[in-house]
């Protein structure tokens, strides 16, 4: 038996790769290295051959040297690569993300649009509960899609809400991050509606709303897809807009939005997605952590702004008391010093007001905007879960339809077969469509997150620099005030 047995194929000079059986590879242990398998086959061959054949094989191997061994190892590794099919777990998605990230960076670099939107001149129209506020929206742009390089239109708050609803319905299910519109305030608008005259109008509320509307429009304009939307261009250019409906807080539309929010919350609680993509899992955790930290920081900034406002009020009271004391003082030098101190305190009170405005408008409102943007990010992630749920539902229905078709075929109910086959084809199409939609929204969210992170870093960098510059200017001005007052204090005899 040993004389009739042929040497292994690995030692045949004419064979470039070893002849292996794929079934044996699958049934065996495919994870064992091929070098070990070759040595085992070599020992078995030597055990079954005669001493003369062993001497001959040893001389042949010695003649061939290390070059033949390297060729055999290379051939064996190539053969294993060809025979073993990589599983889904062995695939590496990281290299696939690199071209997408590069593509996103190229899109941002090519984005050379020029658009600046200002919201100014708040004006109250009408009296009583039927009154409303309108704002002047001025757009300066070099984009060719706009009719004029500069346009000015009048818009009321409900128009902004209507624009957001239309953009949200168009782009949210595609995975786009739609900036949230400013929040409604029933108390603030009631004070505006019931106020009579300019003195009773809450200026602070109106100025905050104007700034929030301006930031909202500029955020939409920065998005390369949203700014090309016809509804957005119409909002900035058209002289008149159709009346936005169901935007009031206490209306049928408000009730519908409340019911929808409750339904979305229930969907989030009852629908769980077994996340297989580590990128999305990490991003969701990052977003949750960022949301919590921004809320804490926003609360601290609002508290700081309020305390600085209180400090300005106390400083103003101290200035008035010092001025009254200077008028009652009989000593001329001391009276003049107290009067100068009162003037210094009045100037310092203005510095505190300016710094409080900087605390609020530069940092606190930025944090509030990004808390809202994070909710928009979560909404886009939830739309991905919804897309996945629709896909899985289609797969389950397809399985049921196929089982029903098999039962009909076994029962020989030929009259119902055409309808069952048509239903199977219909659900097969829905499964393909669901898988395609899930892939599209996943890629869209990855691009949106890259843009979100880039804009977030840019916005916080600019705001922090502006905030520090304002604080340094305020402190330098404060030093000048006290240096100017120092000679008056030393002159008191």
- Domains of the chain, CATH where assigned: 113-242 (3.30.1520.10)
Q: What's the pLDDT band for 30 if we cut at 50, 70, 90? A: very low
Share of the chain above pLDDT 70, in %: 69
pLDDT (tens digit per residue) in 219-267: 999 999 999 999 999 999 988 777 766 665 545 555 555 555 555 555 5
Question: Could you tell me how far CA 20 lies from the centroid of its own chain?
Answer: 51
| Rounded percentage of the chain residues whose pLDDT exceeds 90 | 55
* Higher-scoring residue by pLDDT: 18, 216: 216
pLDDT > 80? residue 159 = yes
pLDDT band at 193; cut points 50, 70, 90: confident
The first and second tokens of residue 271, run together, are: 């629908």
Mean pLDDT of 393-413: 92
Cβ atoms of 155 and 241 within 8 Å: the answer is yes
What pLDDT is stored for residue 456 in this prediction?
Answer: 95
Q: Is the pLDDT of residue 196 over 80?
A: no
pLDDT number for residue 197 = 55
> Which residues are CB-neighbours of 47 under 8 A, at least 6 positions away?
none
Give the pLDDT confidence score for residue 366 in this predicted structure.
94
Query: For residues 44 and 274, which has the higher predicted lDDT (pLDDT)?
Result: 274
Question: Which of the two residues, 416 and 35, has the higher pLDDT score?
Answer: 416
Q: How confident is the model at residue 413 (pLDDT cuts 50, 70, 90)?
A: confident
Nearest to 349 by CA among 310, 315, 305, 308: 315
Say if residues 8 and 61 touch (Cβ distance below 8 Å). Answer: no
How many residues appear in the chain? 493
Tell me the β-bridge partners of 117. Answer: 139
Residue labelled with tokens 């004419």: 14
91 class by beta-carbon count within 10 Å (0-12 exposed, 13-18 middle, 19+ buried): exposed
pLDDT, averaged across the chain: 78
Higher pLDDT, 267 or 279: 279
Question: How many other CB atoms sit within 10 Å of the CB of residue 352?
Answer: 21
pLDDT digits (tens, 9 = 90+) for 51-85: 444 444 444 434 444 444 444 344 433 333 333 33
Please report which confidence band the pLDDT of residue 203 belongs to, taking 50, 70 and 90 as the band edges. confident
Strand order through the sheet with 132-141: 115-125, 132-141, 150-156
pLDDT surpasses 60 at 321: yes
Is 311's pLDDT higher than 80?
Answer: yes
| Residue 248: per-residue pLDDT | 57
The yes-or-no verdict on residue 433 having pLDDT over 90 is: yes
pLDDT for the residue 262? 55
pLDDT top residue among 193 and 271: 193
Q: Is the pLDDT of residue 395 over 90?
A: yes
Q: Is 124 exposed, middle or buried (0-12, 13-18, 19+ CB in 10 A)?
A: middle
Instruction: Look at 80 and 143; give whichever has higher pLDDT.
Output: 143
48: confidence class by pLDDT, cuts 50, 70, 90: very low
pLDDT surpassing 50 at residue 49: no
* Token pair for 478: 């404060």
CA distance 317 to 311: 10
Report in angstroms the alpha-carbon separations of 435 from 29, 385, 441: 34, 12, 10
Is residue 93 scored above 60 in pLDDT?
no
């Amino acid at each position: 038996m040993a004389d009739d047995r042929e040497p292994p194929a690995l030692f045949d000079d004419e064979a470039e790769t070893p002849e292996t059986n794929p079934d044996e590879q699958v049934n065996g242990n495919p994870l064992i290295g091929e070098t070990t398998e070759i040595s085992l086959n070599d020992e078995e061959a030597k055990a079954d051959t005669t001493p003369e054949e062993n001497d001959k094989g040893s001389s042949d191997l010695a003649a061939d040297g290390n070059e033949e061994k390297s060729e055999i190892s290379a051939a064996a590794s190539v053969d294993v690569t060809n025979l073993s099919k990589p599983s889904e777990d062995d695939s590496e998605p990281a290299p696939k993300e690199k071209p997408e990230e590069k593509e996103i960076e190229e899109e941002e670099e090519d984005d050379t649009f020029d658009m600046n939107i200002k919201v100014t001149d708040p004006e109250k129209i009408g009296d009583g509960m039927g009154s409303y506020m309108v704002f002047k929206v001025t757009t300066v742009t070099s984009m060719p899609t706009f009719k004029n390089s500069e346009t000015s239109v009048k818009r009321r708050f409900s128009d902004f809400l209507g624009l957001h609803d239309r953009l949200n319905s168009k782009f949210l299910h595609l995975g786009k991050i739609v900036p949230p519109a400013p929040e409604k305030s029933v108390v603030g608008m009631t004070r505006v509606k019931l106020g009579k005259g300019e003195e009773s109008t809450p200026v602070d509320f109106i100025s905050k709303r104007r700034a929030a509307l301006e930031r909202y429009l500029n955020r939409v304009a920065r998005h390369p897809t949203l700014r090309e939307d016809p509804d957005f261009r119409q909002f900035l250019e058209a002289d008149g807009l159709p009346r936005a409906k169901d935007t009031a807080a206490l209306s049928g539309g408000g009730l519908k939005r409340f019911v929808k929010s409750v339904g979305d919350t229930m969907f989030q609680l009852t629908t769980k997605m077994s996340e297989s993509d580590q990128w999305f899992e990490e991003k969701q955790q990052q977003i949750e952590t960022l949301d919590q930290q921004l809320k804490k920081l926003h609360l601290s900034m609002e508290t700081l702004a309020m305390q600085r406002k209180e400090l300005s009020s106390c400083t103003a009271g101290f200035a008035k008391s010092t001025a009254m004391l200077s008028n009652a003082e009989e000593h001329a030098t001391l009276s003049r010093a107290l009067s100068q101190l009162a003037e210094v305190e009045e100037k310092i009170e203005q510095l505190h007001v300016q710094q409080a405005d900087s605390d609020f408008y530069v940092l606190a409102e930025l944090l509030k905007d990004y808390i809202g943007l994070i909710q928009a990010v979560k909404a886009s992630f939830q739309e991905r879960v919804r897309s996945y749920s629709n896909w899985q539902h289609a797969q389950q229905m397809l399985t049921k339809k196929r089982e029903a078709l098999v039962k009909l075929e076994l029962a020989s109910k030929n009259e119902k077969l055409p309808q069952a086959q048509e239903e199977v084809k219909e659900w097969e199409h829905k499964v393909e469509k669901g898988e395609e939609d899930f892939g599209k929204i996943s890629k869209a969210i990855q691009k949106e997150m890259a843009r979100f992170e880039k804009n977030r870093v840019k916005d916080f960098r600019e705001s922090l620099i502006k905030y520090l510059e304002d604080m340094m200017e305020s402190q330098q001005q404060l030093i000048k005030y006290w240096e100017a007052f120092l000679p008056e204090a030393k002159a008191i005899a």
